[in-house]
Structure formats: C-alpha cells, structure tokens
Amino acid sequence: MDIFVLLVVLLLCSTQVSTLLKLSPINLTVLSGDEARFTCIAQSAKWDVMLWELNSTVVVTISRIHGVLSSPIPNVTAVKSQNGDGWVFVLKSVERLHEGQVSCNLEGNDKKSASLFVQETGTVTVLGGNAIALKGQLVQFECDAVGWYPKPSLHWEVNGKKLSQSEYNLSSVQRGKSLFAVSSNLSMTAKKSSCVDCLVSVSALPVPLMSSIRLTVVAEVVQDEDDCTVPLAVTSSLTALLLLLLLCICTVLWYRERRQAKRSSQDTIRCEERNNGQSLPAGGRVNLGFMSEAPTDAVYEEIIKGIHSKKDLVSVEKVPDVVTSSSLCLHRDGHAQVDLSEGNSKNIRKVTTV
C-alpha cells in the first residue's frame, strides 16, 4: 500500500514538472531558404542548462545564467524570449537536410519535441506563349511545373475563374533529389479573348506561382472594339454614299449644261442662217445650155426686155434660200450674153429664170 501511494505521488510530480515546459509551434513548415523559429518557455526555476537538438544532434547550448554557450552550426542561434523564462531557437537559411525533429531539453527536468518540414518551390511555365484562334476553334495549352517538393498542387484559371479539374488532366513524376515535376494539359473552345493562368503552389507558399498567356479570338476582335469600329464603319459608308450622290448630281448637271450649250449653239447657227437668208435678194439662174435655132434681132430685144422686167420683179420678192453670188452671176452673165449677142447676132441664147 505504501509503495502504491509513493508511485502515485511520483507520477503527479513528473506530470507537474512536464507541464512547466512549453515548446511552440509543434509543427512548422517553411520554404527552403527561409527562417525557422521555435520558442521554448520553462516555467520552473529549477533548470540550469537548456539544450536545443536538431534531429537528435545538439546544436545550441544555453545557460540560464550566462546565456548561449555554444553553437557548432553557423546558421543556428538562440535569442531571449520576451515572454517568461524562455528562449527562441532560430534556424536561418533552412534546407531540406534540416527537415526533422527539433527538441528543447531542460537537462534533468523535461524535454519537448516539434516537427520541422521544409518545402521547395520550382518553376511554372505555360508552353507556347500567347495564342490566336478563330471563334469556335479547339485550343490546347500545356503547363509544366518543375523542381517542386513536395508534389505541388496545380490548377487553371480563365479570366480569374478557377476551372474544374475535370476540364484538364494532371501527371507528375519525381526526379533527382526527390523533386517533383507536374505537367497539365488544358483543352478549351475559343469563345472570346481570355487570359489563361496556370497556378502552382505548396502549403508553405503564401501566394501561388503563376504563368499567364493571352488567348485572342479573331472573331471577337471586331466585337471587342464595337465602340470604335462600328461608328467608323457607319461614317465611312455614309461618306462614300454622299460622295457617290454628289458625283451623280455633278454628272447630271454637266450633261444638262452640255445639252443646253449644244442646243443654244444650234439655235444661234439657225438664227444666223435665217438672218443671212432674209437679207439676200432672190435671183434666177441663166440656162447657158439653151440654144435658139433661128434667133432674130426683134426677138432678142424682147427677151432682153423680159429679163429686165423679171429682174425688177424678183428684186422686190425675197427668197431666203438663194445665195447672193447667184444673183451677181445672173447680172454678169446677162450683160455678158448681151454683149456677145450684140457682137454676133447670129448666135442668140435665150435666158430662162428659175
């Protein structure tokens, strides 16, 4: 009975001592190259030396009175905690080989352990760059994420909207130093110009790494620029129509002016001909081919008198279509014939007026 009571007392005492040591955080995930911090607070005044262990190897020794005594690793140190009687373990430039257990050991009193996880980020690239497609055309994109640890998560976004995993496929492979490479293929129908993003992330990464490309749908270029293109097209059409109408009007006016000018020219010519014709006296023509078989002087004198009387009569009446030269020729021929007949009375010509 006494032995049982003693065991219970010892258990209670050990539990009380263990609750005096606190280590936080219990799990810590950082990116390679970042800094890892763990805080160990001892609420008991009975400790003298605090040991920090990394994967069961002592990396920092701290004296309650003198502080940090030794640190065999250059990128490992410890600083005094601002809360209570504790110290902060600092591991700078974390690498994958540091991943494991971090322990705070109060020598002779208590020991607490936490887990350190180290992740690595690689690259992400959408192959092919910006793309141009016709509306309704099937377009394919490929995204490669290389050099990640652990296996990263990958997803696609179009115009900021996350796509369902059923719309693309994923494949991964682990390459040297346990690094992962992930590849994804996306097939989509070109409906409108869009921004296509491939995002890759691990849990320690606050913001996913992203690679973006621009998909330009040709059929939508005019639609996207309706505000400028449609008014411009309408303006151009109206301008062309007005120019065509103006050309037609000018052509009609020119044709009318030409017809009027031609008509006025013809009228002028007719008027001049009419005026010239009215100013000319009427006259007859002498039939030079007429020969008399038996002319006499008495007959010849009667003919001459008849000719003079007809000339007097014709000079009164005006015939517009007879040329002046005809009348002149008539007088000249008449006198010539008279003279000839006077010189030779045997050859007599009779004059007829037409």
In a domain, 35, yes or no: yes
Q: Cβ distance 95 to 118 under 8 Å?
A: yes
In a domain, 12, yes or no: no
Is the bond preceding residue 25 a cis peptide, omega within 30 degrees? yes
pLDDT of residue 235: 86
Where does the chain show beta strands of DSSP type E?
21-24, 27-31, 36-42, 49-54, 57-63, 67-70, 76-80, 86-91, 100-106, 110-119, 123-126, 131-133, 138-148, 153-158, 161-162, 168-175, 179-189, 194-201, 209-217
Tell me how far apart the alpha carbons of residues 87 and 80 are, in angstroms, rounded to a whole number.
5
Tell me how far apart the alpha carbons of residues 260 and 262 are, in angstroms, rounded to a whole number.
5
- The reply to whether 127 and 194 lie within a common domain is yes
pLDDT of residue 307: 61
pLDDT of residue 293: 54
Write the single-letter amino acid at 111: K
- The reply to whether 112 and 138 lie within a common domain is no
pLDDT of residue 354: 43
- The reply to whether 319 and 274 lie within a common domain is no
- The reply to whether 214 and 268 lie within a common domain is no
In a domain, 7, yes or no: no
In a domain, 101, yes or no: yes
Kindly list the averaged pLDDT for each block of 10 residues, start to end, along the chain of length 354: 41 48 94 95 79 93 87 88 85 94 86 95 94 93 95 96 94 86 95 95 95 87 53 85 92 88 77 64 53 55 62 46 42 42 46 50
- The reply to whether 331 and 352 lie within a common domain is yes
Q: In residues, how long is the chain?
A: 354
Among 279, 305, 320, the domain-final residue is 279
pLDDT of residue 277: 60
Task: Specify the DSSP element, H or E, that contains 233.
Answer: helix 226-279
**For the whole prediction, is pTM greater than 0.75?**
no
In a domain, 206, yes or no: yes
Q: Cβ distance 215 to 194 under 8 Å?
A: yes
In a domain, 159, yes or no: yes
- The reply to whether 32 and 99 lie within a common domain is yes
Say which residues have a Cβ less than 8 Å from residue 210's Cβ, sequence separation at least 6: 124, 197, 198, 199, 200
Tell me how far apart the alpha carbons of residues 19 and 29 are, in angstroms, rounded to a whole number.
25
Neighbours of 337 (CB within 10 A): 21
- The reply to whether 40 and 60 lie within a common domain is yes
In a domain, 10, yes or no: no
Q: How many domains does the chain have?
A: 4
- The reply to whether 219 and 231 lie within a common domain is no
- The reply to whether 241 and 215 lie within a common domain is no
Alpha helix ranges (H) inside 295-323: 297-316
- The reply to whether 133 and 213 lie within a common domain is yes
Residues spanned by the domain of 98: 20-119
Tell me how far apart the alpha carbons of residues 160 and 145 are, in angstroms, rounded to a whole number.
20
